[in-house]
């Protein structure tokens, strides 16, 4: 089976992903780490690489649609393909985060938070509150792995 890939886009997406990782290590984790002065302005533009990563990923996903259309059930094929690539690592991170939280705080996280994360509905509810999410985004910068999955950090200041 021949894979139609655009290697230069895969390479650029990989560079963007590494830049985003570097940005998150220095600017998002709590407590914030101070980057070396020589690269602090370089790291400060990491958010722009997030947009580049999203744009390249969306374009790459659009290139897979002929394969999904050929199955006769394109939406089911696409959803199954995406879930099988995202869910395994996501569930490993949920287990890790839950264990980390339990070991550092001595108590388990709210079951609603775990259920929201396992079901991929975490962005629709405020962490542990069970009410629809009404945040403006800054709280996403205080989490470890996903925008609303925050076992590792404190809740945002409201």
Which residue, among 7, 8, 21, 5, has the nearest Cα to 61 in the 3D structure?
Answer: 5
Please report, rounded to a whole number, the percentage of residues in the chain having pLDDT higher than 90: 25
pTM of the predicted structure, to 2 decimals: 0.61
Residue 146 scores a pLDDT above 60: no
Which of helix, strand or coil describes residue 149?
A: strand
Contact 112, 128 (CB under 8 A): yes
Predicted pLDDT at 138: 39
Mean pLDDT of the chain: 76
């Amino acid at each position: 089976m021949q894979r139609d890939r655009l290697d230069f886009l895969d390479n650029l997406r990989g560079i963007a992903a590494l830049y985003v990782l570097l940005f998150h290590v220095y600017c998002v984790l709590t407590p914030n780490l101070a980057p070396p002065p020589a690269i602090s302005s370089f790291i400060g533009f990491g958010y722009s690489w997030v947009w580049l990563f999203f744009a390249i990923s969306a374009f790459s996903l659009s290139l897979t649609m002929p394969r999904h259309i050929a199955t006769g059930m394109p939406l089911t094929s696409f959803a199954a393909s995406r879930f099988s690539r995202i869910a395994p690592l996501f569930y490993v991170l949920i287990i890790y985060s839950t264990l980390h939280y339990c070991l550092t705080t001595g108590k388990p996280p709210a079951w609603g938070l775990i259920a929201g994360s396992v079901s991929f509905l975490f962005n629709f509810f405020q962490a542990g509150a069970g009410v629809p999410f009404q945040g403006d985004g800054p709280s996403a910068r205080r989490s470890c792995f996903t925008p609303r999955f925050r076992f590792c950090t404190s809740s945002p200041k409201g």
